Amino acid sequence: MKKMMLLAVLCMLCLSTLTVNAAESKIEEPINWEISMMPKPSAEELEAARWSIVLENNMGVYAYDMDSLHFGDVKNGIVNKDLVNVVVKTVFTDKEMLKKMNKTYAEKLAKKEKTQYCEMLMQFNVADKTYAVKALDVYGSKGTKLESRQSDAQLVPVPEKTFAEAMLEICVQAVNNTSGIENK
Contact, 101 vs 115, CB < 8 A? yes
Predicted pLDDT of residue 182:
54
Question: Rounded to whole angstroms, what are the CA distances from 1 to 8, 84, 179?
Answer: 11, 75, 63
Predicted pLDDT of residue 150:
93
Contact, 84 vs 175, CB < 8 A? yes
Terminal CA-CA length for the chain: 68
**In angstroms, rounded to a whole number, what is the distance separating the alpha carbons of residues 158 and 131?**
6
Residue 31 DSSP code: -
Looking at the whole model, is its pTM more than 0.85?
no
State the chain's maximal CA–CA distance in angstroms: 96
Question: Where are any strands of DSSP class E within 13-129?
Answer: 51-56, 60-65, 70-75, 78-92, 115-125
Is it the case that residue 172 has pLDDT exceeding 60?
Answer: yes
Predicted pLDDT of residue 27:
60
Contact, 82 vs 126, CB < 8 A? yes
Q: What is the mean pLDDT of the chain?
A: 80
Is it the case that residue 19 has pLDDT exceeding 60?
Answer: no
Q: How confident is the model at residue 90 (pLDDT cuts 50, 70, 90)?
A: very high
